[in-house]
Amino acid sequence: MAILNFPNTRPGGSPLQEGDTYTGDNGVIYTYDGVKWLGRNVAVSANADAIINSGYVVQVDTGGNLVTPSYILPNTVGTTSQVLTWPASGNTLVWTTSSGMTRWDQGVNDLNCPIFTELTTSSFIANTGRTHLELYQTGDWSVGSRAFTRYIDSDDSRGIALTTDRGTVFFGNHPEQCTPITAASHFHIMRENNSTTELFFGDDFNYVKLPKTDNGLGVEIGTNGDQVWRFGTDGVLNFPNNNGQIGQLESPYTGLVPHWIRC
């Protein structure tokens, strides 16, 4: 005759919890309901359908469900986007539709910055603490290192934005002030903040420079490091090395000598 030794605690000594299971020598799986043990019959004896190791028993019941010491895997098939989750009561996992956010945390780096991956129905975010990759259903995205101020991102208003410790530059954004917008006819490359950042095309020796709007100097073209043509905000073109300037045309224009050239 089989002897049933129902446990009073979990294997580690912690108190029993509702849903805990015990497989008796009679081949019956018992489930603790918070007060008492309830039997769950199986088709064959424990010796025939069970895997037993150090007192832990895994077996298949008459419904084809896989019964483990802690939970039961149902012999049912879910649908697309469904996952097995813990039930509101009992210990048989149930199929539910995945929603909300799934997050995998991998701790922190040496700067105590979190390392994680997040997945939702509208976004994917991976963060290593120093670098990131963010993809959104809207088509917006960002990749690089905010920690070191070196990253690229994109959205409807900013186009593609490149950010470093020198500032942010937009490529293909839509800053048009006129109506209708003429975005289809030209491509913008511009600073996010033209009052704090100068935009150089070239190096410090040969370049075209769009200066900050607060200095009033206008656009510059520089060659050889010391030859600078400056198109001032007053409409005057200044030649390099104080070699003269060209002023605005005066109206009406008369005479053979262009009096709008001054040296």
Predicted confidence (pLDDT) per residue in 140-199, tens digit: 999 999 989 999 999 888 899 999 999 999 998 888 766 555 556 778 888 998 888 888
Q: Domain locations in the chain?
A: 21-78, 102-191, 195-263
Task: State the residue for tokens 């088709």.
Answer: 43
pTM for the complete prediction?
0.54
C-alpha atoms less than 13 angstroms from C-alpha of 124 in its C-beta half-sphere:
4
The set of residues, in sequence order, having a beta carbon less than 8 Å from that of 132 and lying 6+ positions away, is 125, 126, 142, 143, 144, 145, 146, 151
Q: How far apart are CA 19 and CA 164, in angstroms?
A: 55
φ, ψ dihedrals at 46, nearest 5° = -60, -35
φ, ψ dihedrals at 67, nearest 5° = -105, 120
Task: State the residue for tokens 């490359």.
Answer: 189
pLDDT in tens, 20-72: 888 777 667 788 888 888 775 443 344 456 787 776 788 888 788 898 888 89
